[in-house]
Amino acid sequence: MSILNLHNSLTTYLVLAAILFGMGIYGLVTRKTLVGMLIASELVLVAASINIMAFNRFTAPDPSIGQIFTLFIMAVAAAEAAIGLSITIAVYRNYKSVDTEDLVDLNG
Amino acid sequence: MNLMDTLYSFLPDVLTAEGFAGIADEAAGVVFLIMLAVTVAGGIIACNSERLVRAVAGLAVCFVGVAAIYYFLNSPFVAMMQILIYIGAVCITIAFAIMLAAPEDNKKPGPAGPLSGPLGVITAGLVTFGMVGLAIKTQFPAMPKLNMGSVKLIGVQLLTSYSMVFELVSIVLLIAILGSLVIARHGRSK
């Protein structure tokens, strides 16, 4: 298969989604601040969306269902970002820091 | 052979219908490769850069590439929503979080924990390797298409078959808005 024909195979999209997912996992375990972990979790969500859209395009009988599902993932991701922002701000107000090493106090 | 045929035979291959279709296919392949590179590069910036502002800019670049990939997957509507929601809402929200709660000056140097560094790379690499192996080895049988998944059909199904989920997502968004207001409001008067 030619390299210019990659966009017609399911495997390309699955591999791309796996790479994005791995980057998200790497960011989640490496980042030291809550905001950095929020950014990495968005990468994980977008990898899941690409996976669903790829199967939707290549194998599913009804291609509109996967698109609807991806739209719902986007809505949930937006809600998650809003909640994450407010939690980050609440933590910063209490601890004057969003560093994950400072957030060891359960009795906040 | 009449005059039109004579003129037609002098045209380069690109300008004929079949030649143009071939060129358009190759151009689509090139654009796809570029967008693949943009997505991966944006992801690398988003998870690796030292400053969080650069990370969120890399995230926006990554989302542009993902929108192009949705376009290649026959879903221009989802591609548009990707740009609207992810870049327009999520990235801006994270940028606000950085400006409000993550000042760059009191950042602590040093590693984040035992999993940062080589162990983190190994963890993410193993996850990626496993998923890539599964994706390459498995055969996914394709089923015959019932329709083409047009935007009109998405709208109809969203308001008939999936209206329950539609309403539930509205409630989730409402509760998320209220909850984030309550959480961020707590302790503000102190």
Interval B6-63: pLDDT, tens: 766 666 666 666 677 778 788 888 999 999 999 999 999 998 888 889 999 999 999 9
Report the CATH number that the domain containing residue A28 is assigned in CATH. Answer: 1.10.287.3510
Sorted by where each begins, the domain ranges of chain B are 1-103, 146-190
Query: A61 to chain B, minimum CA–CA distance in Å?
Result: 4
Any domain includes A48: yes
Q: What percent of chain B has pLDDT over 70?
A: 83
Interval B140-162: pLDDT, tens: 888 888 888 888 999 999 999 99
Query: For B190, which residue in chain A has the nearest alpha carbon?
Result: A93
Any domain includes A102: no
Domain limits at A20? 3-95
Write down the ipTM of this complex: 0.91
Residues 86-125 of B with CB under 8 A from A: 86, 89-90, 93-94, 96-98, 100-102, 106-108, 112-113, 115-117, 119-121, 123-125
Query: For A63, which residue in chain B has the nearest alpha carbon?
Result: B149
SS (H, E, C) chain B: CCHHHHHHHHCCHHHCHHHHHHHHHHHHHHHHHHHHHHHHHHHHHHHHCCCHHHHHHHHHHHHHHHHHHHHHCCCHHHHHHHHHHHHHHHHHHHHHHHHHHCCCCCCCCCCCCCCCCHHHHHHHHHHHHHHHHHHHHCCCCCCCCCCCCCHHHHHHHHHCCCHHHHHHHHHHHHHHHHHHHHHHHCCCCC
Any domain includes A78: yes
Interval A29-68: pLDDT, tens: 888 888 888 999 999 999 999 999 999 999 988 889 999 9
Tell me which of A64 and A100 has the higher pLDDT: A64
